[in-house]
Chains A and B, each alone.
Chain A
């Protein structure tokens, strides 16, 4: 796998460049992934984006901390941020600059890299001449193609032509080719001509793995996760969509609103409501009136709908909602963890968690079927940013195939003047317990239905997606990591590594968290001696949430140690290194029953001391940030 990090400033196109690099690789039949790092930064602030290229499916979703290549879009960053952080000696570096390397005064930074893999290219100037605008992305990717050979220059040029039709695309394509030639013959920094692309980069790709050409597979596209979800929802033919914007859900509903407005999604009303409470309430009204209803939200928005969530499930309305998982404030935080959906685990909604964008597409189709068969609402939890903003390969099912899988909505109950019913009447002590028991019973039926629907899906679409659990090398594992969502891919990468070293490690992905598949979890964990539950949420006052459920599932099965590891809160990356260390500690018996991964205890200690020293010690979140001395919104470190 070739891992590339791009450094630029907001507004310079770092994210687009990463996407088009991924697109170029995709068009050559490779797997690729592009994703930005996120901040609340405005134009001009330093930003980072990432790209991975491989000939095998890419599972990892952690930020790139050890890049094989760097593309520096803004040379003024060279002395401002730790550009070269994590770059190995075999790494490639391409810097956008008219200056020579010597003039850039890279100093010891440059010594880390082999000289022939460190180049400058005058990308902005090339872009000015070819495009009339200082947008250096295309020229840099052209230069990158020459420097590494990891993508072909034709694919790069074509990616720009496809993304920007007309003169802009043509100008970009010319800029890419010019920079390609410049880097090949060394004209940018006056070094000696290099006749051929470097083979070292291509060696990182899993040569020999079968490439799949997009041309051969209809529906195979490289898309942002949010757009992929929007496409999936559109194919489910929703009739009412009501939504309220919140990061990182926005791109999903923006995509759907555009489809409705452009007339692509027929017989569908899109309602721009004034709050999440209204979004869920409108979905309740629509569903009660017999329409297939959809909404999406995240974080504060999910909490703001909370009262309506309990109502939707209590009324038994089969609404489907995407939760683009994000932390809860205060302190306000826009990054990913599972606090939001976990906080609504008792709301009566079915909760499904997905590990990739392909699964996000597939599980949404299944979710409508499940919801409508049970007449219960379903929440599909997709990791915010990590998945919603990752630009990846997905296969979009055809409309016909979806129509064959998901019949039109046939409600169990509907507000219909021809057959008037009363919904939402008060129930007193005489029947309330029975009504609640029935809600439980109905949700538990999903334990049978979810695997059935997943099997039907696999049969029709030829892909395994969804289900209750994902067992990954657990059958003989003595140590199993239990987790949910996008971190599963990263864990599986580590499991493979450790298996090669002979360690019996496995990973259990929870796909359906509500209802809780206790029996299946118990069976899957039967061989394990050590279970580590990696949690992206915290139940303040007790610790783990998923692990409480795992404990219930394993009740009475002696001889197994269950550890809770709280990690990834508020977007702190869970890297492969994090997982490796976690497993090592677990296997060495060094893991306490509950631990906080990568916790900076020193920081906590200082705040505690402040509180002892002074009654009016001040707001603690702010105090701690001041101690850290970093800017809250700085890019992923």
Chain B
């Protein structure tokens, strides 16, 4: 499991600790002046783009873990478009964009070629947005998992098709307004009872590593990527990334929104291996879902012109269910110890996937 232990730093109220307060070996990859800058500056992402931030941390961590020996295959989407307004390219590693639906399979092909050539050191990353991963690319992704191809696939989940102007994907949450689930009619926004949570489906492939992360805890994301690079086979990391444009939030609030996503139980942060959940990141102080919804214009119709308490309650119930299902609430003595706990350290809160699935429909 990752060597990283979250250090609570309660004065900030956010559990975030600045690098300068950590021992050098505990500092983030980004704190290292010799970092790879895998996605260098000058790209065309919007201000505050969570995907740009997440990808930068993830890839720099992968570069450090492999000594810069990585090839990336990218699906179509914002990340691809904003990073390659040629002749400017942000990529400081070999990188290929083929199509929207095939990034996992392209990555498989790269891994196969390396194997054929007897190259056992160069590693492969596939990556894409939620649309490219959970919708159109899902068949290729599942195939890559099932065969156990030696690829780390990273999904940057901003919960909609942002590149084409914010349309609904299977990762769009209920009630969220998108261009194809408008805030009109009797049930404005995306419907309840639809959508899928791919991390659990990935886990069901019994691959050696599955993790979720958010841009609110970049240190954790780095640690998970580094850990993923220490193992072979098909691995999956699903990163919640804020999109200021699509969510309707200020650029400066990207990280705050992601933090609220975890602190409300809206987005569970966990790790798993071979079908089992092996660790979760605890919520220290549970916040009501409203604190997460209110700052986002995609949920504005829940508050104006009238409050839709019944919808807010359903969303609260969803978050509560996550909390119960993944055991997200801190059970130990308040304010002590690490946020990330292993299964053995905290067995009561953790369940097997089949139990989760038995407990009801997938999120």
In the assembled complex, the CB of B357 is this many whole angstroms from the nearest CB of chain A, namely 21
- A interface, over-half SS: loop
Interface centre among A42, A44, A275, A300 (most CB of B within 10 A): A42
Tell me the nearest residue of chain B to A270, going by C-beta.
B180
In the assembled complex, the CB of A78 is this many whole angstroms from the nearest CB of chain B, namely 22
Q: Any chain B CB within 8 A of the CB of A632? A: yes
Is A262's CB under 8 angstroms from B180's CB? no
Q: What separation, in Å, do the CA atoms of A143 and B110 have in the docked complex?
A: 58
Chain A interface: which of B3-11, B92-100, B200-208, B228-236?
A: B92-100
Query: Which residues between 167 and 220 of chain B lie within 8 Å of chain A, taking CB atoms?
Result: 167-168, 170, 179-182, 184-186, 188
Is B180's CB under 8 angstroms from A253's CB? yes
In the assembled complex, the CB of A298 is this many whole angstroms from the nearest CB of chain B, namely 10
Q: Any chain A CB within 8 A of the CB of B328? A: no
Write the B13-51 contact mask toward A (1 if CB under 8 angstroms, else 0): 000000000000000000000000000000011110000
In the assembled complex, the CB of A326 is this many whole angstroms from the nearest CB of chain B, namely 12
Q: Any chain A CB within 8 A of the CB of B135? A: yes
Is A626's CB under 8 angstroms from B182's CB? no
Chain A residues contacting B45 (CB-CB under 8 Å) are 42
Interface centre among B87, B161, B163, B170 (most CB of A within 10 A): B87
Q: Any chain A CB within 8 A of the CB of B300? A: no
Q: Any chain B CB within 8 A of the CB of A612? A: no
- Among B165, B170, B245, the residue within 8 A (CB) of A274 is B170
A42-B44, A42-B45, A247-B164 known; A258 and B184 CB under 8 Å? yes
Q: Any chain B CB within 8 A of the CB of A476? A: no
Q: Any chain B CB within 8 A of the CB of A250? A: yes
Is A633's CB under 8 angstroms from B182's CB? no
Is A245's CB under 8 angstroms from B86's CB? no
Q: What separation, in Å, do the CA atoms of A633 and B82 have in the docked complex?
A: 10
Chain B residues contacting A44 (CB-CB under 8 Å) are 47
Tell me the nearest residue of chain B to A621, going by C-beta.
B86
Tell me the nearest residue of chain A to B190, going by C-beta.
A272
Q: What separation, in Å, do the CA atoms of A625 and B89 have in the docked complex?
A: 11
Write the A310-326 contact mask toward B (1 if CB under 8 angstroms, else 0): 00000000000000000
Chain B residues contacting A625 (CB-CB under 8 Å) are 86-87
Q: Any chain A CB within 8 A of the CB of B101? A: yes
Write the A602-637 contact mask toward B (1 if CB under 8 angstroms, else 0): 000000000000000000011001101111110000
Interface centre among B45, B86, B100, B184 (most CB of A within 10 A): B86
Query: Which residues between 258 and 272 of chain A lie within 8 Å of chain B, taking CB atoms?
Result: 258, 261-263, 270, 272
Is B184's CB under 8 angstroms from A254's CB? no
- Among A250, A253, A631, the residue within 8 A (CB) of B85 is A631
Chain A residues contacting B185 (CB-CB under 8 Å) are 261-263
Is A629's CB under 8 angstroms from B179's CB? no
Q: Any chain A CB within 8 A of the CB of B88? A: yes
Chain B residues contacting A45 (CB-CB under 8 Å) are 44
Tell me the nearest residue of chain A to B137, going by C-beta.
A275
Q: Any chain B CB within 8 A of the CB of A547? A: no
Query: Which residues between 225 and 250 of chain B lie within 8 Å of chain A, taking CB atoms?
Result: 245
In the assembled complex, the CB of A168 is this many whole angstroms from the nearest CB of chain B, namely 15
The number of chain B residues with a CB under 8 A from chain A is 37
Write the A38-53 contact mask toward B (1 if CB under 8 angstroms, else 0): 0011111100000000
Chain A residues contacting B85 (CB-CB under 8 Å) are 40, 631-633
Interface centre among A245, A276, A621 (most CB of B within 10 A): A245
Chain A residues contacting B180 (CB-CB under 8 Å) are 243, 245, 253-254, 257, 270, 272
Q: Any chain B CB within 8 A of the CB of A461? A: no
Chain B residues contacting A263 (CB-CB under 8 Å) are 185-186
Q: What separation, in Å, do the CA atoms of A513 and B296 have in the docked complex?
A: 48
In the assembled complex, the CB of B198 is this many whole angstroms from the nearest CB of chain A, namely 12
Chain B residues contacting A632 (CB-CB under 8 Å) are 84-87
Is A43's CB under 8 angstroms from B164's CB? no
In the assembled complex, the CB of B239 is this many whole angstroms from the nearest CB of chain A, namely 20
Chain B residues contacting A622 (CB-CB under 8 Å) are 86-87, 89
Q: What separation, in Å, do the CA atoms of A621 and B87 have in the docked complex?
A: 10
In the assembled complex, the CB of B160 is this many whole angstroms from the nearest CB of chain A, namely 10
Q: What separation, in Å, do the CA atoms of A253 and B164 have in the docked complex?
A: 12
In the assembled complex, the CB of B246 is this many whole angstroms from the nearest CB of chain A, namely 12
In the assembled complex, the CB of A68 is this many whole angstroms from the nearest CB of chain B, namely 31
Is B100's CB under 8 angstroms from A300's CB? yes
Chain A residues contacting B88 (CB-CB under 8 Å) are 631
Q: Any chain B CB within 8 A of the CB of A246? A: yes
Q: Any chain B CB within 8 A of the CB of A332? A: yes
A40-B85, A274-B136, A275-B101 known; A245 and B167 CB under 8 Å? yes
In the assembled complex, the CB of A222 is this many whole angstroms from the nearest CB of chain B, namely 22
In the assembled complex, the CB of B133 is this many whole angstroms from the nearest CB of chain A, namely 11
Query: Which residues between 237 and 293 of chain A lie within 8 Å of chain B, taking CB atoms?
Result: 243-247, 250, 253-254, 257-258, 261-263, 270, 272, 274-276
Tell me the nearest residue of chain B to A331, going by C-beta.
B86
Q: Any chain B CB within 8 A of the CB of A304? A: yes
Is A245's CB under 8 angstroms from B165's CB? yes
Q: What separation, in Å, do the CA atoms of A253 and B186 have in the docked complex?
A: 20
Q: Any chain B CB within 8 A of the CB of A542? A: no
Is A304's CB under 8 angstroms from B179's CB? no
Q: What separation, in Å, do the CA atoms of A250 and B180 have in the docked complex?
A: 9
Tell me the nearest residue of chain A to B81, going by C-beta.
A40
Is A332's CB under 8 angstroms from B76's CB? yes
In the assembled complex, the CB of A291 is this many whole angstroms from the nearest CB of chain B, namely 20
In the assembled complex, the CB of B249 is this many whole angstroms from the nearest CB of chain A, namely 14
Q: Any chain B CB within 8 A of the CB of A421? A: no
Tell me the nearest residue of chain A to B89, going by C-beta.
A622
Q: Any chain B CB within 8 A of the CB of A330? A: yes
Query: Which residues between 145 and 176 of chain B lie within 8 Å of chain A, taking CB atoms?
Result: 161, 163-165, 167-168, 170
Q: Can you list 20 A-B contacts with CB-CB less than 8 angstroms, sorted by A residue number?
A: A42-B44, A42-B46, A45-B44, A245-B180, A247-B164, A257-B182, A262-B184, A263-B185, A272-B167, A272-B168, A272-B180, A274-B135, A276-B136, A622-B87, A625-B86, A626-B86, A626-B87, A628-B87, A632-B84, A633-B85
Identify 13 new A-B residue pairs, CB closer than 8 A, beyond the known A245-B165, A632-B84.
Answer: A41-B44, A42-B245, A243-B180, A245-B164, A254-B180, A258-B184, A261-B182, A261-B184, A262-B185, A272-B181, A274-B138, A621-B86, A631-B86
